[in-house]
C-alpha cells in the first residue's frame, strides 16, 4: 500500500531546537511519509539542525524592508509554502495533507498523528483547520487566538500563502494598530474562500532560547 504524503512546514523565528529533536525528527508512521520544510531567519549558528528538511531557507531580515514582526512571519509562511510547492512540481506529486507550525510548538506524536489521520478520511479541497475558532475583539476586528498551528490541503496553503501580499496592502490596519499576527490570519481566512474547520490538538510551548543565538 502506498503511503500518504504529508508536508510539515516550519515558519517564523527559530527559538529552540528541543521540540524539533524530541518530536519531529522522530515522527514516523507505517502509513505516512513525512517531508519537512523550513523558512526562518538567519540569526542563529547551527543550521545543521535543519538538515533533515527537504527544503530550508535562512533569510537575512535586513534584505527586505518589513513593516513589523507580523509582516516578517507572514513572509516566512509565503516562502516555506513556495519550497513545498516547488518540491511537488519537481517530483510530480501533490501532498495529501500539510501542517504549518512554529518550531517551538510541542505536540505528542500520537495527538498529531491522530489529527492528521482524521483528515485523510474526510476533508475538502480548500479546507483550513485552526486550533480554535476565530473571535472578535472590542472593536469587532476578527482575530485568530492560535496563530501557530494550521492544517489543510496543499491547495489551501498555496492560496493561503498569498495572504502576505493581500493583507499588507491594507495600510489602514497599521494606522489603527491592527497589524498583529492574530489579525493577519483571521483577515486572510475571512477574505479567501476557505472551508474553516477547528481541530484542537493538545500542545505546549517550548520557549527556551538558543544558546548560540545572535540577537538582531
Please say if the pLDDT value at position 179 is more than 60. no
Distance (Å, whole) CA 109 – CA 124: 24
| Residue listed under C-alpha cell 472590542 | 138
82-102 pLDDT per residue, tens: 999 999 999 999 999 999 988
Per-residue pLDDT band at 210 (split at 50, 70, 90): very low
**The pLDDT of residue 91:** 97
Q: How many CB atoms lie within 10 A of CB 191?
A: 12
> Between 3.90.550, 2.60.120, 2.60.98, 1.10.3470, what CATH number should domain 4-205 receive?
3.90.550
**The pLDDT of residue 208:** 56
Please say if the pLDDT value at position 174 is more than 50. no
The DSSP bridge partners found for residue 55 are 37
Nearest to 38 by CA among 10, 76, 7, 74: 10
18-49 pLDDT per residue, tens: 778 778 888 889 999 999 999 999 888 788 88
Average pLDDT over residues 127-153: 72
Domain boundary assignment for the chain? 4-205
Q: What percent of the chain has pLDDT over 90?
A: 28
Q: Running DSSP on this structure, what letter comes out for residue 80?
A: H
Average pLDDT over residues 159-176: 67
Nearest to 99 by CA among 86, 83, 79, 81: 81
Amino acid at each position: 500500500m502506498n503511503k500518504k504524503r504529508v508536508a510539515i512546514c516550519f515558519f517564523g523565528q527559530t527559538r529552540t531546537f528541543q521540540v524539533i529533536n524530541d518530536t519531529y525528527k522522530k515522527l514516523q508512521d507505517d502509513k505516512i511519509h513525512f517531508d519537512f520544510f523550513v523558512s526562518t531567519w538567519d540569526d542563529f549558528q547551527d543550521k545543521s539542525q535543519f538538515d533533515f528538511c527537504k527544503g530550508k531557507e535562512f533569510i537575512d531580515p535586513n534584505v527586505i524592508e518589513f513593516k513589523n514582526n507580523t509582516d516578517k512571519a507572514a513572509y516566512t509562511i509565503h516562502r516555506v509554502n513556495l519550497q513545498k510547492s516547488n518540491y511537488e512540481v519537481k517530483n510530480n506529486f501533490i501532498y495529501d495533507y500539510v501542517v504549518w507550525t512554529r518550531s517551538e510548538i510541542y505536540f505528542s506524536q500520537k495527538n498529531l498523528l491522530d489529527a492528521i489521520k482524521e483528515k485523510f478520511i474526510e476533508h475538502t479541497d480548500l479546507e483550513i483547520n485552526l486550533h480554535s475558532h476565530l473571535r472578535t475583539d472590542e472593536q469587532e476586528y476578527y482575530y485568530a487566538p492560535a496563530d501557530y498551528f494550521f492544517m489543510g490541503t496543499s491547495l489551501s496553503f498555496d492560496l493561503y500563502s498569498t495572504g502576505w501580499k493581500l493583507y499588507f496592502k491594507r495600510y489602514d490596519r497599521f494606522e489603527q494598530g491592527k497589524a498583529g499576527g492574530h489579525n493577519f490570519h483571521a483577515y486572510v481566512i475571512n477574505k479567501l474562500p476557505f472551508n474553516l474547520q477547528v481541530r484542537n490538538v493538545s500542545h505546549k510551548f517550548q520557549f527556551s532560547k538558543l544558546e548560540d543565538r545572535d540577537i538582531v
